[in-house]
Amino acid sequence: MLNVGIVGLGQGQSHLRAFQMIEGSRVVAVCDTDAALAQRVARECDVRHAYTQYEHLLEDDYLPAARAERCESEYAQIDRSWTRLLKAHVRP
DSSP string, 5-70: EEE-SSTHHHHHHHHHHSTTEEEEEEE-S-HHHHHHHHHHTT-SEEES-HHHHHH-TT-SEEEE-S
Span 31-72, pLDDT tens digits: 999 999 999 999 999 999 999 998 888 777 777 655 555 444
Instruction: Name the band, by pLDDT with cuts 50, 70 and 90, for residue 90.
Output: very low
| pLDDT reading at 81 higher than 70 | no
CATH class of 2-89: alpha beta
Tell me the residue type at 82: W
pLDDT digits (tens, 9 = 90+) for 6-34: 888 988 888 899 889 988 888 999 999 99
First-residue to last-residue Cα distance in the chain: 22
Distances (CA, A) of 92 to 62, 79, 83, 89: 21, 20, 15, 10
pLDDT at residue 24, as a whole number: 87
pTM for the model stands at: 0.70
